[in-house]
Amino acid sequence: MSDPNPFLQTLSTQLDTIEAALLQQDPAAVSLACQQLQQLLVERSRQPTSDNWSSAQDRLAADRIDQRMKSVRATLLQQGAAAGRALATLLPAETLDSYGGKAAFGTSSRGPNTRFYQA
């Protein structure tokens, strides 16, 4: 059996770094590791390649990397949604009254009725 493709090994190692940062709940490390993965992929796309991807071992490794990347993406989306909900709870946005205008204490936007009544 041949050695695994070096690029696939590098991708796998980078995914290990991202997963470890996610487990440690370290947003700065997750961001840095994701940026490094993106840079790795951008650099690779600019280089011509003569890799032979036909070996069964490389195809299996590529499939595993694909599944791991999908899992990391799902985890990041879930954590992003959870962070968004937490922020919305801690820092609620302006609420609108039933007519769609901003409601503030003592004032309210009114509908299109602009007539004034005097007593």
The predicted pLDDT at position 63 comes to 93
The model's pLDDT over 58-97, given as tens digits with 9 standing for 90+, comes to 889 989 999 999 999 999 999 889 888 888 888 877 655 5
Tens digits of residue pLDDT in 22-63: 999 999 999 999 999 999 999 988 887 766 667 888 889 989
Q: What is the pTM of this model?
A: 0.67
Q: Is the pLDDT of residue 1 over 60?
A: no
Predicted pLDDT of residue 95: 55
- Confidence band of 112 (pLDDT split at 50, 70, 90): low
Residue 60 CA to residue 70 CA, distance in Å, equals 16
